[in-house]
Amino acid sequence: MLMYKRVGITVKSGLDYKNEAVTKVIEILKSLGTEILVDASRVDESGTEYPSYLSEDDIDLLVVIGGDGTILRAIRDLKTFTTPILSVNRGTVGFLAETELDEAKEILPILLSEEGVLETRSILDVKAMRGTEVIYSGYALNEAVVAQGTIARLVDLKTEVNGEDLTTFHADGLIIATPTGSTAYSLAAGGPIVHPAQLATILTPINPHSFSQKPIVLPSSDEIKVTVLTKENKFKDAEVILTLDGQVYVPLKNGDVIHASGCKTTVQFLRRKQDTFFGTLRTKLKWGERLEN
């Protein structure tokens, strides 16, 4: 039985052989009897004969063709997070992807039938304030990063949790990550791997000046407040940047405040089975493998 009848398609704008990839996915979906709608701003001549979707209400499922970056962009474009996402990987690692393009013909019919299951992932609700002015408000699936935006120079980031002082990180920056983001930048900076089913937020300092300032895992419901404390110097390089999922950049000034917490809604991914996380660790990150001599 077909569970998703109206399927939207979006794709990485600069994808190599984009039209061929989109055409292949469209042919598979047509054979299943789905109604196809496209992201008109990104799907070129391969999808011009199909109507475009204007909002999540128009589709039952969103197929994302590309890599993890395309998924992050697609999620940022969503408004209510009620539409499940199915990723067809045409990127590199594809940590969030469920299927590769060359296996899509076999896997898509399975996923769109009753054999597909939904996996939920938590996201961060992030707001940057300058006094009483909101200078940015949005969401992140992986992480929000507060860090120096110029030459290497430590920055002080006063961090509070639920109104209580945690510490002032004297570091290159601070990563506020979701469990999904625990295997991205946070992991590279020394943070822990956290199973995506956990409702948690990970704080990972980037190259902290103190050995005592280690990563910490908090409940996702905790309200995190980070105040930027910079000092003027002769090099005039005290610029600090808020980055969301490596794609959104917000310049910050001394005294700016970032508020972050787990969002009350979650993003849904269509998967083959309930838990593929450990398999993904082994295949994508080669986690636990012994090094060859």
Q: Where are the alpha helices (DSSP H) in 32-139?
A: 68-77, 104-112
Query: Do 124 and 145 touch, CB atoms closer than 8 A?
Result: no
Residue 115 main-chain phi, psi, to 5 deg: -85, -15
Q: What are 37's two structure tokens?
A: 């709608």
Q: What are 35's two structure tokens?
A: 């109604």
Q: Mind telling me the catalytic residues?
A: 68
b/e code 149-184 from CB counts within 10 Å (16+ = b): beeeeebbbebbbeeeebbbbebbbbbbbbbbbbbb
Residue 57 main-chain phi, psi, to 5 deg: -65, -20
Pairing mode of beta strands 257-271, 117-130: antiparallel
Q: What are 104's two structure tokens?
A: 């899509």
From the list 179, 164, 157, 160, the residue with the least C-alpha distance to 228 is 157
Using CA of residue 186, residue 216, residue 76, residue 109, what is the dihedral sign?
positive
CA distance 46 to 95: 27
From the list 9, 64, 12, the residue with the least C-alpha distance to 247 is 12
Which amino acid, one-letter code, is at 146? V
- In the beta sheet, which residues pair with residue 89? 66, 100
